[in-house]
Chains A and B, each alone.
Chain A
Amino acid sequence: MPEFNPFKIAQAQLDAAAARLGLDPATHELLRWPQIEFKFTLPVEMDDGRTRIFHGYRVQYNSARGPTKGGLRWHPEETIDTVRALAAWMTWKTAVVDIPLGGGKGGVTCNPKEMSEREKQRLARAYMRAVARILSVSKDVPAPDVYTTPQIMAWMMDEYEVLVGEHHPGVITGKPIPLGGSEWMNMKSWWENTIPESSPGNPSPWGGRKAGEMPPPAGGFMLSGKPAKCWGLT
């Protein structure tokens, strides 16, 4: 089996669309590659006193429609090609829902399951120090993704604000609610804060909450009790 490379897949999918749309060669070639990509090393002091060097990435795939937008993945098998592919998919994603943003993605090759909270915080801050100069609400805005959390976003936002000396909550999304985030994003915090116990006989997963108190979910659903129109598959 050939080695799996998601970026090759992303390019092949684009090639098919470009052929069907009759894109001119320059536009096609421009869209096949990231506009800008960053790779950097992140020295982080671990709890045992030793310093480990992590490899970090941030890809700004295309900003024609607006500031680039996309998550940060912390995964042991993260590669630049995975980040490139996901940044390309973010470009198509923001375009398909027609929001005025481009596409980007970032990541760190690491295994957060083997890291303490203190180590994660030091890595989060080291990452932000490396990318702060290429981020801003009008340039590029990260978000949580695989194995990154609202807490990690909070540390990163704080590091950014320390560096620039002002409040800029919009530089990163998926933050905890008290820092300007939305409640909808994370099941764990939602569950712990809003649904005390699942009670037998109460068929609603929302527990005893009133409809108006429900946080919006991470997807195209309405919680008004009826499906969003896009789910009218009947």
Chain B
Amino acid sequence: MLGVDLKGKTMAIQGFGNAGQFAALLAHEILGLKLVAASDSKGGILNPRGLDPRQVVEYKLKKGSLQGFPGADPITNEQLLEMEVTVLFPAALENVITDSNASKVRCRISCELANGPTTPEADEILHANNVFVIPDFLANAGGVTVSYFEQVQNTYNFYWPLDEVHRRLDEKMSRAFHGVYQMHQREKVNMRQAAYLVSVARVAEACKLRGWV
């Protein structure tokens, strides 16, 4: 799609909580991305030759922070965001990529696992610099989708096998991504604006059908 082969390419993860940890393991295992840096609220770790995601997750869960992970150099959260990597995962809190640092963000893809990590001014800068942003409310929608599946199973008091959860999640996320990507191409807007066009139109239609407006 973007002409990027992710296998063996680099990733950095800002925020190493639940979402960041899953991203480290899965993007490594499934996409073949190499984890070169990760950070939490106390600071980050860096090894350009690659960090073993499994060991980093284990260390974080045991020690509660990444500090002192063997074989890595310290790096600040600010430095991590400006690293030249293929994929950056902002996975901490909101407001980390702003107009003051966006021009220094040098990733090819920013996959937003946190909510609201990028300000609107920063969005413009990233778009101009050809950074492909997978916006928060698309990239991290797998969580609420499985929450919805949980709720459905609770209501029916009947539980699906794991394969079924996988299959349905893949179907939902793939359909959502491609819908937004098509809108992005058709309307020549960035991915966040495209995601807004898709979702606001759906909510507005429901409001109208109800006779609210």
CB atoms of B196 and A92 under 8 A apart: yes
CB atoms of A227 and B30 under 8 A apart: yes
**In the complex, which range does the number of interface residues on chain B fall in?**
35 or more
**A79, B170: Cα distance in complex, Å:** 34
CB atoms of A182 and B30 under 8 A apart: no
Known interface pairs A187-B57, A230-B177, A231-B31. Does A92 touch B120 (Cβ–Cβ under 8 Å)? no
CB atoms of A182 and B202 under 8 A apart: no
**In the complex, which range does the number of interface residues on chain A fall in?**
35 or more
Q: Which of B3, B154, B172, B174 contacts A170 (CB 8 A)?
A: B154
Q: At the interface, yes or no: B178 with Cβ under 8 Å from chain A?
A: yes
**A169, B158: Cα distance in complex, Å:** 12
CB atoms of A191 and B58 under 8 A apart: yes
Say whether chain B's binding surface is mostly helix, strand, loop, or mixed: helix
Q: At the interface, yes or no: B143 with Cβ under 8 Å from chain A?
A: yes
Q: At the interface, yes or no: A143 with Cβ under 8 Å from chain B?
A: yes
Known interface pairs A96-B176, A221-B26, A227-B30. Does A65 touch B202 (Cβ–Cβ under 8 Å)? yes
**A98, B193: Cα distance in complex, Å:** 17
CB atoms of B155 and A143 under 8 A apart: no
CB atoms of B116 and A6 under 8 A apart: yes
**Residues of chain B with a CB closer than 8 A to A6's CB:** 94-95, 116
Q: Which of B100, B196, B207 contacts A14 (CB 8 A)?
A: B196
Q: At the interface, yes or no: B63 with Cβ under 8 Å from chain A?
A: no
**Residues of chain A with a CB closer than 8 A to B113's CB:** 219
Q: At the interface, yes or no: A208 with Cβ under 8 Å from chain B?
A: no
Question: Binary interface profile of B, 176-202, with partner A (CB < 8 Å = 1, else 0)?
Answer: 111110000001010011011111111
**Residues of chain B with a CB closer than 8 A to A64's CB:** 203, 206-207, 210, 212
**Residues of chain A with a CB closer than 8 A to B150's CB:** 170, 173-175, 180-182
**A20, B197: Cα distance in complex, Å:** 8
Known interface pairs A187-B18, A187-B22. Does A234 touch B61 (Cβ–Cβ under 8 Å)? no
Question: Binary interface profile of A, 23-55, with partner B (CB < 8 Å = 1, else 0)?
Answer: 110110011000000000000000000000000
Max chain B Cβ within 10 angstroms of own Cβ: one of A17, A98, A141, A185: A17
Question: Binary interface profile of B, 139-154, with partner A (CB < 8 Å = 1, else 0)?
Answer: 0111111111111011
**A215, B23: Cα distance in complex, Å:** 15
Binds A, one of B67-75, B77-85, B161-169: B161-169
- Which chain B residues numbered 100 to 121 have a C-beta less than 8 Å away from chain A? 100, 109, 113, 115-116, 119-120
Binds B, one of A82-90, A123-131, A158-166: A82-90
Known interface pairs A230-B173, A233-B4, A234-B1. Does A92 touch B199 (Cβ–Cβ under 8 Å)? yes
CB atoms of A17 and B193 under 8 A apart: yes
Question: Which residues of B approach A to under 8 Å, CB–CB?
Answer: 1-6, 18-19, 21-23, 25-26, 28-31, 53-55, 57-58, 61, 93-95, 100, 109, 113, 115-116, 119-120, 136-138, 140-151, 153-155, 162-163, 165-166, 169-170, 172-180, 187, 189, 192-193, 195-204, 206-208, 210, 212-213
Question: Which residues of A approach B to under 8 Å, CB–CB?
Answer: 1, 4, 6, 9-10, 12-14, 16-18, 20-21, 23-24, 26-27, 30-31, 62, 64-65, 69-70, 82, 85-86, 89-99, 101, 137, 141, 143, 146, 169-170, 173-175, 180-182, 184-188, 191-192, 198, 204-206, 212, 214-234
